[in-house]
Structure 1
Amino acid sequence: MHDRIAADYLGRLSALAVRSLGRVLAQGYLVNSRTTSATIWPGHKPVLVAPPALDRSRFIVEPVRPEVTAPVRRVVMVGRISPWKGQHVFLEAFEQVFADTDVEAYVVGGALFGEREYEAELHRTASAGRCAGRIHFTGHLDDVRHHQLSADVLVHASVVPEPFGLVVSEGMAAGCAVIATTPGGPAEVITDGRDGLLVPCGDVDAMVAALQELKADPELAQRLRTAGQRSVRRYDATVQAAWVQPWLHAVAHRVAPARPATSWSDVAIP
C-alpha cells in the first residue's frame, strides 16, 4: 500500500472498497509508512512498514556538494501540481521571505487529472507578485534529479497528510535542507531540527518561519543537509531488501512472519 486509504485522500467510496477488498484478498499488508498503516483494515493479517527504497548512487555526483555554509540561493518544490500538494502555500511563503532578494524558486512538476486551472492560478500568482521572474515552473519532467541536486532547500508543502513523500527522502539524499509537513509520512522520515524541519500541514506562517530560519542561519541549513544525507542511508535498497525479504518469504509460504525486533524508524543507519 502506497496511499492512505482514507476519504480525504481517495474519496469515501473508494476507500471503503479498497479496505474491503484487502480484507478478502490480501495475505498480508506491506505499507510505506505508519501513516498508511493506520488507514487499513488488516484484521489479524500481518503488516510490515517498509518505506520506498532509494538508489542513493543516483544522487552522488562530482563535484560533491561542498561542506561549507552559504546563503540560500535556490529553493525547489517537487511534485505533481495539485491543490492538496500545497504549491500555493509554498509560493505565498516564498514571497514573504525572499521578496527583497535574488533567491530563485523552482516549482517542478505538472498538473494531471483536470487540475490545469489550479496550475494556471499558480502562474498568475507568481507573475503578479514581488518575486515575478524568479519563480520558475518546469512542467512535468521524467527526471527531477538536476533540480534536487542544484537546490539549497527542498520544500514539501502538502496540506493533508502525505502517505510517505518520496521527494522528501530524495531531497535529503541530494543534500538539500528539507522542510516538510506534519502529520504524515514525512514526519516519519525527518526528526525535526536534526535532519530537516517540520511544519503543520497548510500553515503558511509556519512555512514562512522555517524558510526564514534557513535564510538567516546558513550553519543550521548545512547541519540539516549533512544529517539528512546520513539519515537516508537506512532507505538504501540493500537495507530495505534485508528488511522485507524474510517477511515476504513467510507470507508467501503462509506462515506467521517473525515480528521485527525493531520498528522501521529504529532501523540502524549503515
Structure 2
Amino acid sequence: MPRVLFFNQTGLYGGAERSLYDLVTNYPGHCRVVLMQAGPLYDDLITAGVDTPVLGGGFQRATRRKWITLTIRLYSPIVVAIGLVRLSRGYDLIYANSMKAAVIAVLTKPFHRRKMVWHLRSLLIPEHFSPLARLVARWCGNWGADLVIANSDATARAYQSNGGKCLPVRAYNGFSIEKFRPEKRAELRAQLVVEHGLDPTHPIIGMIGRIGPWKGQALALLGLSMGTDWQLLVVGEALFESENFRQDFHESATRYTQTCNVFCLGHRDDIAEIMGGVDVVIHASTLPEPFGRVIVEAMLAGTPVIATNGGGVPEIVQNGVTGRLITPNSATALATAIEAALRETEQSRSMAVAARRYAEQHFALELTLPPVWQALRTMAAQSDGTENAPAVAAGAHESSIKG
C-alpha cells in the first residue's frame, strides 16, 4: 500500500471529518494526518494511535485587534504550506480531504512533488460557492489533482459541470453498521423519554447534524408549529457558522421551546442511540446536499426517514420504498410527510426495514473502503510521466464504489 499523508483543515467534526476518521483508522498501510486546527477529531485520532501533527493553528483565531487577526490569517497558511512540504517527505500521496486542503496541496505541489488525491465532498454549484470559489476548484481539479474522488454521483456531476476535465471516482461514505441496533428501538426510546423528560405518548421527531443556515433547522421549527403534539429533538452545534448566526438560532429555538416541544441537545456522541430512540428522523436541508450521512445513519438505526429531494439524497433514499422525499424549503411538505409517517405506521415500518437492508448492502465500511484503497494503489503505481495530468483510476465508474 502507498504511504499516504491525509490533509484536512479542521479538527472539528463535520461529515467530511467523520468520513476521514473512518478512512484513516481503517487504512491498511502507513499513513499520517495533518490538520490545520486541533479539536475533537485530533483527540480521537491520537487516541486511536494515529500520528496527527497540527500546523498553523487553523484559520479561525480572532482577537479584538483587527491587525493581529489579519496577521494571523495571513501567516497561518504560510506556516501550514511550509509544514506540509516538510511532512510530505517519505510519503507517496497527499490526500486532501477538503477544498481548503486541496488549494494548499496544489499551491505547494512544485515543492512537495507528491501525487495528490482530492476527496471532493461539496457540490460545486452557485447555491453553495461563489464564481471565484468555483474557478479555484476547477483549477485545483484540472491542474493539481492526480485523482478526484467524489462522495456521490451528484457531486461528480457538479464537478464536471463546473469544468472538471477528469471523471471522478465515486466513493460513498461508509458506516460501521454494528453500532446501530434497530432491535432495541423500544428500549432506546424509553431511555430518551427518561433522560429528557419527554411525554412517552407523543411522537418524538429527531433532527440530527450540523446546525447551519441551509441545514434546515429553522424550517423544521416552522414545520413543527403545524403539528399538535410533536416533540422535536435538535442534536448538533453550529460549528462553522458566525457567532451572530449561533445566537440567532438559539434565540429562535428558545422561543419555540416555550411554545412547542423543542429540545436542543447540542453535541452528542451517542448518535446511534438517539437515532434509534426517535420515531422519525427528518433531513430538511434547504439547499442540495452532496451526500447525507444522517440519512444513512437513520436507515441503519431502523428509523423512518424524511429527507429533502436534491443533490445526492435520491442516491440514498428511494421515495416510498426506503423513505419519504419532500420538496426542498417547504415547511408544509415537511409537516405533511411527518403526519403521514406517524399515521401510516405499517408502511413506515416496512420502509424502515427496507432502508436498513439497503444501507447494509450499500454503505457498510467493509464494502466502501476497498475500492478506495485500490484507487490509491493505482494512482501510486502510475509512472512519473503522468504526474502532471489529472488522472482517473482505470474504469472510473466501473471501479467506483458501488456501496
Same fold (TM over 0.5): yes
What are the equivalent positions in structure 2 for 1:216-231 lying under 5 Å apart?
Answer: 216-231=343-358
State the aligned residue count: 256
**Counterpart contact for 2:142–2:164, Cα < 8 Å:** yes
State the match for 1:27 in structure 2. Answer: 146
Equivalence map 1:210-249=2 (5 Å): 210-233=337-360, 234-249=362-377
1:192 to 296, 316, 319: 319
Q: Mind listing any 5+ residue stretches in structure 2 that lack a counterpart?
A: 1-119, 187-200, 383-391
Q: Is the CA contact 2:371–2:400 (under 8 Å) kept in the aligned structure 1? A: no
For residue 215 of structure 1, report the CA deviation from its aligned partner: 1.7
Q: Residue 3 of structure 1 aligns to which amino acid in structure 2?
A: S
Query: Could you tell me how far 1:166 is from its partner in structure 2?
Result: 0.5
Matched residues in 2 for 1:49 and 1:167: separation?
A: 19
- What TM-score does the superposition give when structure 1 sets the normalisation length? 0.85
Q: 1:122 to 1:35 in 2, by over 3 A?
A: farther
CA drift at 1:155: 0.3
On the 8 A contact 1:247/1:258 being kept in 2, the answer is no
Q: Where in structure 2 are the equivalents of 1:171-190 lying within 5 Å?
A: 171-190=298-317
Equivalent runs, 1:102-251 vs 2, <5 Å = 103-112=230-239, 113-114=241-242, 115-129=245-259, 131=260, 134-233=261-360, 234-251=362-379
Q: Quick one: which of 54, 78, 93 aligns to 2:208?
A: 78
In 1, distance between residues paired with 2:203 and 2:165? 51
Tell me which amino acid in the other structure corresponds to 1:64. K
RMSD of aligned C-alpha atoms?
2.4
Q: Which has the higher contact order (CA 8 A, sep 6+)?
A: 1
After TM superposition, where is structure 1 displaced by more than 6 Å over at least 4 residues in a row?
Answer: none
CA distance in 1, matches of 2:141, 2:399: 25
Query: Unpaired segments of 5 or more residues in structure 1?
Result: none
The answer to whether the Cα contact below 8 Å between 2:138 and 2:164 also exists between their aligned partners in 1 is no
SS in structure 2 opposite 1:184? coil
Provide closer, same or farther for how the CA distance between residues 28 and 57 of structure 1 changes in structure 2, counting only shifts above 3 A. Answer: same
Residues 179-212 of structure 1: CA distance to partner in whole angstroms, max 9, x if unpaired? 0001111111000000111011101121111111
**Residues 115-124 or 186-195, more deviating:** 115-124
1:37 aligns with 2:195: no
- Residue 135 of structure 2 aligns with an amino acid whose one-letter code is L
Report sequence identity in percent.
27
Partners of 1:82 and 1:118 within 8 A in 2 = no
Instruction: Classify 1:11/1:40 alpha carbon distance in 2 versus 1 (closer, same or farther; 3 Å).
Output: same
User: For the Cα contact (< 8 Å) 1:5–1:19, is it kept in 2?
Assistant: no
- Partner Cα distance (2:262, 2:371) in 1: 41
Kindly provide the amino acid, as one letter, of the partner of residue 154 in structure 2.
T
Aligned to 2:140, what secondary structure does the other structure show? helix
How far apart, CA to CA, are the structure 2 residues paired with 1:143 and 1:188?
26
Structure 2 residue 136 is matched with structure 1 residue 17: yes
Structure 1 position 236, deviation (Å): 0.3
Aligned partner of 2:170 in structure 1 is 49
Q: CA deviation at 1:128?
A: 4.8
Give the letter for the 2:394 counterpart.
Answer: P
Q: Given that residues 217 and 284 in structure 2 are in contact (C-alpha distance below 8 angstroms), is that contact kept between their aligned partners in structure 1? A: yes
8 Å contact kept, 1:3–1:36: yes
